[in-house]
Chains A and B, each alone.
Chain A
Amino acid sequence: MLEILTIEFMRNTLLAGVLVALGLAPLSVYVVLRRIVFVGAAVAEISSAGVALAVLFQVEPFAVALVLTLLTFLGFSRAADSPRLPLEALIGMLYAGGSAAAVLLIVKAPRGEGEILNVLFGNILTVPQPLLWAMAATFAVVALLQFVASKEFLIAAYDPDMARALGISVNLWNTIFYVALGVAVAIAIRAVGALMTFTMLVAPGASALCFVRGLSGAFTIATVIGVVATVAGVFASFWLDFPTGPTIVAILAATFALSYGYAAMRGA
């Protein structure tokens, strides 16, 4: 059963998946509660446009994707508090604009298609060792930030007026939250692709919120769901000869369906 762990690239796959789960699953609670679930999808498109741009101009794709992702999230942090337009309109336009830009840039980039596909669908099986270290460091910082800034992140999201009345800067903490989210998403997309990143940014939090009674429990349960689904997905894909990323995504989707069904039966 554990022969999978004797194969180096499968060990790396498992490690990459677990790191992404540890990094994104706790964030997914806020992503769901802040109603920004499609940010992940929009940012994936922006990221792929960034990669296409980088290929076109022959510069490092990840650097361009990271910069564009961070700029997008910084834009979200400013727009999150705007009374002019619902945030989802901005997310929708970024999704559409990012998709169009990616396609148009691919057309002009002679070697772009393969790299774009790698960003969009990722390949958890081929995560290089240096990227694993970068992921571990990045997600550790993001997790630590979430822990120490829990009260600021909570009140800025839950009751911005109250936060301001208490002298807590909502703009500052929204910016810090979105930058942390942006960095985590950028590195996760680079490692495991847009589909798994997007799902990990929604499913664990959405599943946990179906049955928890307190917020601190939601972070713990979301993280457990993310890690367990990832480990189960890696093993299942190995035994059943399925692609790993989509297997993890399918397990996360099934977990959400069960959680949602449980909540519905309970009348929550």
Chain B
Amino acid sequence: MANELVSVRSVTVGYHGRAILRNLNFAIERGDFMGVMGPNGSGKTTLLKTLLGLLDPLEGTIEMRPANGVPLRIGYVTQRERLDAHFPLSALEVAIMGRFGMIRALRRPRREDNEIARGCLRRVGMENRAARPYRELSGGQQQRVLIARALAGEPDLLLLDEPTNGMDVEAERAIMELLLGLQQEKSTTIVFVTHLLSAIEHFARRVALITRDGTVVIGDKAAMLAPDNMARAYAATET
């Protein structure tokens, strides 16, 4: 209990009053490295957006437990395909957006924000590409910049939506190892959503499995990847 960062109680999530996942009860613990998996369309991103506060739960409560009285800071790494490539932004201009929530309205980023964003690019191995247009970077490099952007907000909890989608095996491994390193370096709690079994299998410590009946089962990786649990999520309905 004391180690819980986020507590989800009797929560139903969905859009426009339509429930997608029901009666969710689980906790995200400090220092967690959790993968959320389930079939396409099962509600993974909806769950993530509800945790982020972008969607209100249809029922139940989500309690964020601040550390030392300071409100919990959440870093969000969106799906990179959702970002518009027409915006002529450099990697640094993208990374500095992570600071925007910490800068008062109608104030522009200061030199200090610039330095922090640059430092975050350094942590993800992208400092030497800070001035490069974001849209000209490879998929893996763009993902690193988006992770740097989330880190720039100095988050207690990092939520990532399909961080390795569309990447080859090498790029996927590099991103997941980067996340693992960040988690070990500062004990940042990391939750990532993926439909790729390989990312879960090789890197997650705990797994939240979205089942076909719209519930979430959480446990250690070995237990969650057992055939009976996999069948609850992925087996085709018998006809």
Question: For the complex, what is the distance from the CA of A82 to the CA of B93, rounded to whole Å?
Answer: 27
Question: For the complex, what is the distance from the CA of A158 to the CA of B105, rounded to whole Å?
Answer: 17
Task: Tell yes or no: B133 within 8 A of A by CB.
Answer: yes
Q: A165-B54, A215-B89 are in contact. Are A33 and B101 (CB under 8 A)?
A: no
Q: Which residue of B lies closest to A208 (CB)?
A: B88
How many residues of chain A get a CB closer than 8 Å to chain B's CBs?
A: 27
Q: Which residue of A lies closest to B159 (CB)?
A: A165
A94-148 contacts to B, CB under 8 A, are 148
Q: A150-B108, A213-B88 are in contact. Are A164 and B53 (CB under 8 A)?
A: yes
Partner among A149, A154, A166 whose Cβ is within 8 Å of the Cβ of B101:
A166
B53 pairs with A161, CB closer than 8 A: no
B101 pairs with A167, CB closer than 8 A: yes
A214 pairs with B100, CB closer than 8 A: no
B54 pairs with A164, CB closer than 8 A: yes
B50-66 contacts to A, CB under 8 A, are 52-54
Contacts of B101 in A (CB 8 A): 165-168
Task: Tell yes or no: B169 within 8 A of A by CB.
Answer: no
Task: Tell yes or no: A209 within 8 A of B by CB.
Answer: yes
A211-235 contacts to B, CB under 8 A, are 212-215, 217-218
**Chain B positions 102 through 121: 1 when the CB is less than 8 Å from some CB of chain A, otherwise 0:** 01011111000000000000
Question: For the complex, what is the distance from the CA of A218 to the CA of B74, rounded to whole Å?
Answer: 31
Partner among B83, B84, B106 whose Cβ is within 8 Å of the Cβ of A149:
B106
B34-85 contacts to A, CB under 8 A, are 49, 52-54, 74, 76, 78, 82-84
11 contacts between A and B (CB under 8 A): A151-B100, A158-B87, A159-B82, A161-B49, A162-B76, A162-B78, A164-B52, A166-B100, A166-B153, A214-B88, A214-B93
Residues of B at the A interface (CB closer than 8 Å) are 49, 52-54, 74, 76, 78, 82-84, 86-90, 93, 97-98, 100-101, 103, 105-109, 133, 149, 153
Residues of A at the B interface (CB closer than 8 Å) are 32-33, 148-152, 154-155, 157-159, 161-168, 209, 212-215, 217-218
Q: Using A161-B54, A215-B87 as known contacts, list a sample of 7 further A-B pairs with CB atoms less than 8 Å apart, ordered by residue number in A.
A: A151-B109, A152-B105, A167-B101, A209-B88, A215-B88, A215-B93, A218-B88
